[in-house]
Chains A and B, each alone.
Chain A
């Protein structure tokens, strides 16, 4: 351990693919089977960068469209947030943004990225590119696929770099 680990939380509506994204990023695996997350699942991953190695502790929080009391406690001490939406379900983006606002009011200036997942199902895509472009003006947005791995690494790396910048 060269420095202390950083905690990041994955927030988003149920079934958007948070657990799958973590699985892809941490273990490079993917499963079609949907096992909803109960409570929270914590993983960790070391991120190599030019200045050495830093560690991310990733809290994959059960899917909700709004944060209840328990989920709020899970957020404590987090330095970064990953808001996940499902590109094939337009309302999940609104949930993600709503969650982001809720979380930001609880945390001190957390680093945020928005992930719009399941880009491999682009033909069933419900979210308009214009909406995303509008969104990109305020927060970094990544289009990802836990299935294919597209954009996953880049999204986590971006958040990690953002956290390093904070120090």
Chain B
């Protein structure tokens, strides 16, 4: 423990082996609509943390602004609900200052792929050890139903009355092209699978994208539970599916429409996370570094270059 007040906390293997879901519960009543897919994400995230033995104080869940981003208010964990589009950037700062924390970002599709698109691109190529869960409901829900970057062509909303004219972002392909080292998709209607994907993402050393098909029962009447359930298939149904095979992953990630792949689409383990390239972190988290690491003598040495 340093003078700085920061407690050395979570290691990769969490310490709370006797954790239960209750440890992550708080008294806040959620404002989500009954039936919202975000309930599934919340349940799955808690399950994944329990399964990995990561206690609430060892994780930092960082979200943006949107329906789904409210998740941090609905669970007991170190949480930071930031700005619309910015949680990846804030999370990168948290991770680089204190890599002992398990940093998990949760945000909506508008947040992640629209306003925060630049951070998404750069997180994917930077590869910090951050797990990124996107609640992709193909709509701007909190602002009451405008089309989003992942809305399909022709999707009619208040801001696309004649149908969306842009081609949708395929986040898996973008992440793959940008160099992401873990890319998965899951469905909020299957929290067990989702919890598995989140756990695999947290275990992955590096940036892990989990794009979650998340029905918005209030504003998206097209992409419903049934719509997704009819289309999804698990990539690991094919025993020969190898997530390390880039070409296969590219072809799989490109699928959308009649058949939508879920599961770990791509993963490689040979890229060290960004933090390992940061010289200042060689001696551990900088939040634990005492101020007197710079003393009078070192200070005098620093001044010498100006003499």
Is chain B a partner of chain A in the same complex?
A: no
Residues of B within 8 A of A (CB): none
